[in-house]
Amino acid sequence: MTLNLCVLTPNRIIWNSEVKEIILSTNSGQIGVLPNHAPIATAVDIGILRIGLRGQWFTIALMGGFARIVNNEITVLVNDAERGSDINPKEAQQTLEIAEANLSRAEGKRQTIEANLALRRARTRVEAINAIS
């Protein structure tokens, strides 16, 4: 038995196929989803979506949104997403270093919040690469 996973951003479809299982980062922690999972709607955190398929694991860096699981159909609607295999490791590492520097220079609440979000996004992209290495 399989699940149908569809990962969507406002601009494109990132993934749309059957999978064996997933591990999803939600605002309340990670959840594993296998066939016949109980129906659920949840907020998706900035984090990694791990996809189990044909004995392999694939990753997608998710940048927050929502997920709905019902009748073996998983729909993930996110602000942005990127397959781990599509991320340039050198560029991702540079972005992480810039985000860390920006956080250390942030002044005031707004700049600190924005710098923290940028850092979380950058770390997620690097983690998505490392999870498939």
Task: Report the CATH number that the domain containing residue 39 is assigned in CATH.
Answer: 2.60.15.10
3-state SS track over the chain:
CCEEEEEECCCCEEEEEEECEEEEEECCEEEEECCCCCCEEEEEEEEEEEEEECCEEEEEEEEEEEEEEECCEEEEEECCEEEHHHCCHHHHHHHHHHHHHHHHHCCHHHHHHHHHHHHHHHHHHHHHHHHHC
Average pLDDT across the chain, whole number: 94
Residues 48 and 62 in one domain: yes
**pLDDT for the residue 130:** 82
Residues 90 and 73 in one domain: no
Given 46, 65, 84, the domain boundary residue is 84
Instruction: Indicate if the pLDDT at residue 132 is higher than 70.
Output: no
Residues 20 and 78 in one domain: yes
Residues 7 and 66 in one domain: yes
Domain that holds residue 8: 3-84
The pLDDT tens digits of the residues spanning 5-59 come to 999 999 999 999 999 999 999 999 999 999 999 999 999 999 999 999 988 999 9
Residues 63 and 122 in one domain: no
Q: pLDDT band for 133, please (50, 70, 90 cuts).
A: very low
Residues 17 and 42 in one domain: yes
